[in-house]
Amino acid sequence: MAVIKFAYAPADAALTNRIKNDLRGGHTITEGESAAGYQLLVLVSSNAGLADAGVTEAMYDALDGGRHIIPVLAEKVPVPRLINHLTPADFSDGAYPLDDLRNAIAFLTGPEAPLAMRVLTPRTKRRNRNIGLIVFLAAFIMFMAGIIGVGVYHLQAPVEEYNAIETEIVQTRDAIIGPTLNALGQFLPRSTEDAAVFEATLQRMPTVHRPFMEATVTAEAVRAQPTAPDILPMVTPAAGS
């Protein structure tokens, strides 16, 4: 037995009440305050229903709540855009396919029922925009607080803690790549002629070690006397390193 809610305009009350009465024997029809606990919405569509704000809000409630909806056509009108992927039960032009409606209700409230398709209603979109605006404002306030803290109050990370962490990083790095760099040290340029071909040598080294070899050569060049005849030129970093 399913708990069913109906959404309809007053102009469609006669057809809706007839359907309700025919369904009551096998299902519970919820009304008024108790309508919050329904499982499925039967939405009666007509020209009056499409213009009725209460019918539209009931459709939004069902969509936002992840409930199934069965459109019922009281007149030959298009199914509302948000649920036009659903197959309606056509009760227009004097037709009364009650068995089709019963079968649809039994399927959508049974154990084999698929999950209701989630649709973004205008109400949900509006709520999402409001949440996005709040998050943006919070992030902007935090960003400005950081700018003011650094620029005006000169806030910064604790120097001792930063230095300790940086030292640990460097020591870990040196322990990992140190032996390899020592082995590669034999390829460091020792003369101007070696420096001229060192870039080609550098390209043959493992990519992960190239920046450290470049830095080593640069440091050697800086330590060399500017007036010395065998000064080593600074090696241009290889492209892509």
For 6-47, the pLDDT digits (tens) are: 999 999 999 999 999 999 888 999 876 556 789 999 999 999
C-alpha span between 45 and 63 (Å, rounded):
16
In which element (H, E) is residue 30 found? none
Burial of 183 (0-12, 13-18, 19+ CB in 10 A): exposed
Count of CA atoms in the C-beta half-sphere (13 A) of 184: 22
Count of CA atoms in the C-beta half-sphere (13 A) of 110: 7
> pLDDT under 70 in the chain at which residues?
32-35, 224-241
Neighbouring-strand partners of residue 5? 41
pLDDT the model gives residue 221: 72
pLDDT the model gives residue 240: 47
Instruction: Give the start-end residues of each E strand in 62-145.
Output: 68-73, 89-90
Q: What region, left, alpha or beta, does residue 29 occupy, with left being phi > 0 and alpha being psi -120 to 50 degrees?
A: beta
Q: Are the C-beta atoms of residues 73 and 143 closer than 8 Å to each other?
A: no
Burial of 222 (0-12, 13-18, 19+ CB in 10 A): exposed
Q: Are the C-beta atoms of residues 111 and 62 closer than 8 Å to each other?
A: no
CATH superfamily of 3-108: Toll/interleukin-1 receptor homology (TIR) domain (3.40.50.10140)
Residues shown for the chain: 241
Neighbouring-strand partners of residue 23? none
C-alpha span between 207 and 111 (Å, rounded):
59
pLDDT the model gives residue 109: 92
pLDDT the model gives residue 50: 96
Q: How far is CA 235 from the centre of its chain?
A: 45
pTM of the shown model: 0.59
In which element (H, E) is residue 4 found? strand 3-7
Q: Find where tokens 């199934």 sit.
A: 68
Q: What region, left, alpha or beta, does residue 154 occupy, with left being phi > 0 and alpha being psi -120 to 50 degrees?
A: left
- Residues contacting residue 171 through CB under 8 Å, at least 6 positions apart: none
